[in-house]
Each structure stands twice: as C-alpha cells, then as structure tokens.
Structure 1
Amino acid sequence: MGTSTSSRGPGGDSPLVPPWADKDGQGPGPIPPPQRFKEFRKSLGKFVSGGNHSDLRAALGKYAGTATGGNTVGPRRFGSMAHAGGALFDALTGSQDGRETPSLDLTTLNGQDTDLAIDIIIRALLPNDGDDDRIRIAMNEALSECLDGYAEFDFSHITDEMLVQMMLAYVGRCVFGQVVLDSKDAFARAESSAQAETAEADLLALVEAATDKHMRPLLSGNVRMFNRTQIADAQLRAITEVWTEWEAYLHD
C-alpha cells in the first residue's frame, strides 16, 4: 500500500485542527490533552504485532475518542480534504453538465491515456497545504478505481455509480492516510514487511467498510444534483458518523 512502517506523525501538542483544515472558521479546537496519541499508538502497535482485531477496534476507539478530540472535533481535521473532494466531484460532473472548472479544461483530456489524464486532474485540483500529500494519494486511488479498465480517458463513460464509488474511495483513503500518519511508529511493531502489509490491509478494510456504510446513504438519489459544497458537507457528515461508531468501540 506504499505506507512506511514509521511515519513522522504529528506531536501530541499539535492542534486538533490545523489552520489549513479549519474550513468552518471555528479555530483549532480545545487544547489537546498531553500525549493524546499515546494510547492509540500503543493499541495499534499491539494489533500490528499480534493481529487481534479487538486491539484494532480499541485503537480506533481511542483514536476517535481521545487522540482527535471526539466526534465534534475530530472530523473537522478533514476540512481541507473534504473541500478538495468536493472540487474533484464538481470537476467530473461539471465536465458532463457543461460547467467549467478553473484551470482544468476537461474536454482536452478525452482520448488521453487514463493515467496521464488522472495526473493532470490531480495537479489542477491539489491544494498547497499540509494535507496535499494525502489528498494527492486519495485522489489518485479514487480516480484509478473509478476509471479502472479504461485505457483512454472519456468522461462520457462515467456513470452515477462510478461517481459514488469514487467519492467512497476518496474519503476512505483520506481517513486511512490520516490514521496511518498519526500512528507514527506503530507499524514498526511488525516483525516483517508482510506482517505490516497485512495490518495495513486490515485497517484499510475496516475504514472502507465504515465509510461505505455511512456515506453511501448520503449520496442516494440523483447524485449529479449535488454541488461541491454539498459533497464536502456529506464527506464531513459521514466522517462524523464514523467517529461516533469508533468511539462506541471503547464500550465493547
């Protein structure tokens, strides 16, 4: 999955919501508790080394409930990612509905190699902030999944279900990427690269199941009626519901 077994990760005294993610203008959130990631990383490391899924659930419960500030604050950390996801959705639906996206003439991409077109879209939409690396990876994964099987790019082939799958993949990858970043050296507890990869795959599967469960219902009906703001709001609402579910793991 391309995730290193050790990430720098934020320090325990870093703000719950960094400035670039504060899209709602509510500020950095309350002062975080000391060593707020400690118990999350400890439980995740235990899962990585032992493979017990109860430890994974405990880790995510601590991540949502303590490390990120709970379901009223934690999802705000994804403000920039959700904003970029709204721009991605708007770009793909706008190409078919006659709307233009600044700096991105999608009509020129039809017939291009799909991988090249994906790269052009990402470069046009990628923000320049502290989350740009995770956004780039999430966009690439989401677009690659959406357009799997198409050697050449053609927006007319994009169906409503493909748009839904793209957004589910995007949100799942954003959440997964942030959890891994915040894990610091938890994955270094693995005894082998294969064990680390298995742990990452299990974490990703759980994240994807949760995001699908909570976001898919928010995209029901005519998905093309959503604008970028509504899609951004839907992402944050889904993440809030995921956080609520994960916090409940603490009471298992």
Structure 2
Amino acid sequence: MGTSQSSKGPKNGNPLVPPWADQAKNGGNKNLSGFRTLFGRFARSRDISSLKGALGRYSRQVTGGGDSANERLGNIVSAGGGLFELLNDGVVNDQNSNPIIDLSSLNGLSCEDAIARISQALSDGSEDADKIQTAMNDALVEALDGKTTFNPQDITDDVLIETMICYLTDSIFIQVTMDAGKSWNNAQSAKELQRAENELHEYISAIVDNHMEPKISKNIRSFSKSDIIKIQKDVITEVWDEWKGYSE
C-alpha cells in the first residue's frame, strides 16, 4: 500500500519537530560533533549528500549500530507493540488482566480525543512518554485522515498497516531530530527549516516503508504483539545497516 501520504509530515497542524525536542542536553555524546556538522550543512542547503553523510555517521558513531539503536528505542518499540495490540485485538490489559484501554470505550468520541486517550494510556509511566505520545498521535492522525468521529470499525487492515509504519517512521524521525540539536539552527529561515524537516521526514518515511511494508502487508491481523515488536526491531536494524554504508 505504501505510505506516500505520511511522507508529507503530520496533518494535525503541529510542527514536525515537537517543542520539547530542543535537545541541548543531548550534547554529552562526543560522537555527535561530526554528525551535527554534516547535519548542519543539510539544514542550511538541504543537500542530500550531506544528509546521507550525517545519517552514516549517526548509524556508525552516534548510536553505535542497529543493536545499540534498538536498545535506545526499546521503550518506543514496546509501546508500538501495545499500539498494534490495541488496534488489532481491541483491548490492552495490564499484568493482572485488567483493561488499560479498549477501543469500544472510545466509540463516538472525536478522533482527536480518542487519539489523545490512546497515546496517553499506552505511554503512561514510560521515561519516553513524550516521544511515544507524539509518534502515536501523528501516526493515528495520518492513518485516520478525514475522520472526525472515532469508530473502531474504521481500523481496517490498511489503517493498521499505515499506523504501524508511520509510528516507527515518526519515532526514528524524533530521535534523529533530538540528536541533531542546535545544528537545525543552520537553516537560513523558519521556512527553510520547515523544508529541511519535511525532507528529513520524507527520507526516513521512504526507507522505513521500504523495509517494513513487505513484512506486514500480508495477513496483518495474524501477527501478535511480540511479532510486531520483533518486526520493528528488525526494521530498525535494517535501516541502520543501510545508513551505515553511506559515505561522506
């Protein structure tokens, strides 16, 4: 099915880079310097070779490869498993089999309210709650585009597939954005910054879609939560491996 729709960024009117992603605190990693230099060139000129060089450094040096990236994104990947479980099974339970949230209770709410409740319930207590909520909100807004009232019957196979691809896309986008930090300031204007954000999002969307869509496009309803968690991890590894090969 592809996710060309999602490659244009969120439709909810919010900027692609969330306000809390001004990450001066991410400057402690000495390996960020080369990545940020190249990323700054991309932000200034939107040169694709600079972006690819930056992502190559990001994979090899900043994050230390796919395994380390999966560790870092572990909470986000687990929350993605919960999102799939909710949309596929209709309910997510806690360890005592008590419902945390179920889709039927959201029927008739505005989509905005229902999406907010889903992202809140599935991120509650996580140290990555802000990232999870932002990625879930944007993914569900994309997948349910045009819907104003939430109806669980609207969660078709295509909606489920698009939601999961968009969720992982936005999760990776947010993390790269945070680690890029002040290198975004190399953009010449707010308009140029928005263009650079859009181009980064499109680039990540295309590569995630390329690796993930074939894994989930058939029999999406047959997967379990653990299956989806593994698929997300596999996609992260494959994306990082591809980036690792990018030269400067």
1:195 and 2:192 matched: yes
Give the letter for the 1:200 counterpart: E
Alpha-carbon distance, 1:6 to partner: 4.5
Q: Is the 8 A contact 2:82 2:92 kept in 1?
A: no
Alpha-carbon distance in 2 for matches of 1:155, 1:78? 28
1:84 and 2:85 matched: no
Select 1:68's aligned residue among 63, 72, 96. Answer: 63
Could you say which residue in structure 2 is the equivalent of 1:242?
A: 239
Q: Is the 8 A contact 1:84 1:127 kept in 2?
A: no
Alpha-carbon distance in 2 for matches of 1:129, 1:56? 31
Alpha-carbon distance in 2 for matches of 1:201, 1:100? 33
Give the letter for the 1:63 counterpart: Y
Alpha-carbon distance in 2 for matches of 1:234, 1:61? 22
Give the letter for the 1:210 counterpart: I
> When the two structures are superposed, what TM-score results if normalisation uses the length of structure 2?
0.87
Report matched runs for 1:5-16 at 5 Å: 6-13=22-29
Q: Deviations over 1:81-124 (max 9, x none)?
A: 000000011001111xxx55422132121111111111111111
Could you say which residue in structure 1 is the equivalent of 2:128?
A: 131
Give the letter for the 1:42 counterpart: T
Total equivalences in the alignment: 227
1:146 and 2:146 matched: no
Report matched runs for 1:32-111 at 5 Å: 35-95=30-90, 101=93, 102-111=99-108
Give the letter for the 1:91 counterpart: L
Alpha-carbon distance, 1:133 to partner: 0.9
Q: Cα–Cα, structure 1 residues 100 and 85, in superposed 2: closer, same or farther, change >3 Å?
A: closer
Alpha-carbon distance in 1 for matches of 2:243, 2:25? 21
Runs of 4+ in 1 over 4 A off after TM superposition: none
Unaligned runs of 5+ in 1: 14-34
Alpha-carbon distance in 2 for matches of 1:75, 1:209? 20
RMSD value over aligned CA atoms? Answer: 1.6
Select 2:158's aligned residue among 157, 161, 175. Answer: 161
Q: Is the 8 A contact 1:6 1:187 kept in 2?
A: no
> Per chain length, whose mean CA-contact separation is higher, i.e. which structure has more relative contact order (CA < 8 Å, sep 6+)?
2
Give the letter for the 1:10 counterpart: N
Q: Cα–Cα, structure 1 residues 100 and 189, in superposed 2: closer, same or farther, change >3 Å?
A: closer
Alpha-carbon distance, 1:170 to partner: 0.2
1:175 and 2:179 matched: no
> When the two structures are superposed, what TM-score results if normalisation uses the length of structure 1?
0.85
Higher helix residue share: 2
Alpha-carbon distance in 2 for matches of 1:125, 1:56? 33
Q: Deviations over 1:183-207 (max 9, x none)?
A: 1101011121111111111111100
Q: Is the 8 A contact 2:139 2:166 kept in 1?
A: yes
